Amino acid sequence: MRWILRGLVAAGLTLGVALPAHQGAGAATTGNPVQLTSGFYVDPNSNPAAWVNNNPNDGRRTAIQNSIATKPMARWFGNWSNPIGTAVGSFVGAADAADKLPVLVAYNIPGRDACGGHSGGGAGTPAAYRTWIHDFAVAVGNRPAVVVIEPDSLGDFNCMNADQIAERNGMLTYAVQQFKDLAPNAWAYLDGGNAGWVAADVMAQRLNGAGLANAHGFALNVSNYYTTAQTVSYGNAVNSHLSAAKPFVVDTSRNGNGTGNDWCNPPGRKLGVTAQTGGGAEMLLWIKVPGDSDGDCGIGAGIPAGTFSPDLAMHLINGS
């Protein structure tokens, strides 16, 4: 982010004037997407923003607009994003035109959410997934981006058999390679679960088995509530079990009050700090969209996974 970070050190690199590589057709320069942009992208078509635009007379509108809809957050892409190349290309293109850094989530692996069950689905076959993730990476191309690859995919192993795990590792390894080969100005982070799910040494093994060596780093706490301090401690522990430490990012979208007694729309959670570099990790990001339901559960009973609820949003704003 040039307006904050010029002359400072981020991700081990001295930041200076942003390179124009992503602006030229056919540019192949590998760059730091933070250097190449002037801040995080605010999605004007996020679920919270769409709700604000469609409900001008709702009494909750101002709070949701000010606290959520105007903040940088990730856009999730899955089997609802058709065609995937067009959907991704439009999103990263708009961010690039604004000189901002977009955050994207690839969420379409077959057998998705094997343990949670509320967000099941994904591409029908491994072959279909490989085509989908290839087209995703091609659409990012040379433009700067942050991409989180397949939340929950390495935490779900307890709900899968050995053949399914091997198959999934193959798909994740392929996905990581696509971004390395085809999106040189994107940082791809392989999802690494959260501080309360899988022991750090076990997660390190799983990340290695899923191709972490070719990813920029790993992502933690996606759609969960553990505090930044707890998550940074967990990330450092994971790194202590890797042969070569990797950068990691933390989802802070709902961790303002820490974790509750459940992962699925629990009460009493609160918005965390907005997107920034540093903070104990490489970046703190809103990866889960605040106000989007985890599923038909908790205080979101009756609200399907991924559906925005102004009531859930207000709970997060108020910490209730």
Q: Are 42 and 72 in contact (CB under 8 A)?
A: yes
Give Cβ neighbours of residue 56 (< 8 Å, ≥ 6 apart): none
Distance CA 234, CA 287 (A): 18
263 annotated ligand binder: yes
Q: Do the annotations mark residue 76 as ligand-binding?
A: yes
Q: Which stretches does DSSP call E strand in 26-133?
A: 75-77, 103-106
In angstroms, the CA 47 to CA 73 distance is: 10
- Provide the CB-side half-sphere exposure for 13 (13 A, CA): 15
> What does the buried/exposed string (b/e) look like for 23-50 if buried means 16 or more CB atoms within 10 Å of the residue's CB?
eeeebeeebbbbbbbbbbbbbeebbbbe
CA distance 273 to 286: 8
Q: Is 71 annotated as a binding residue?
A: no
Residue 24 contacts residue 279 (beta carbons within 8 Å): no
3-state secondary structure at position 39: coil
Residues labelled as active-site residues:
152, 294
DSSP annotation of 264: S
Tell me: is residue 197 an annotated ligand-binding position. Answer: yes
Q: Would the annotation count 224 as a binding residue?
A: yes
Per the annotation, where are the binding residues for substrate? 76, 197, 224, 263, 288
Binding site feature residues:
76, 197, 224, 263, 288
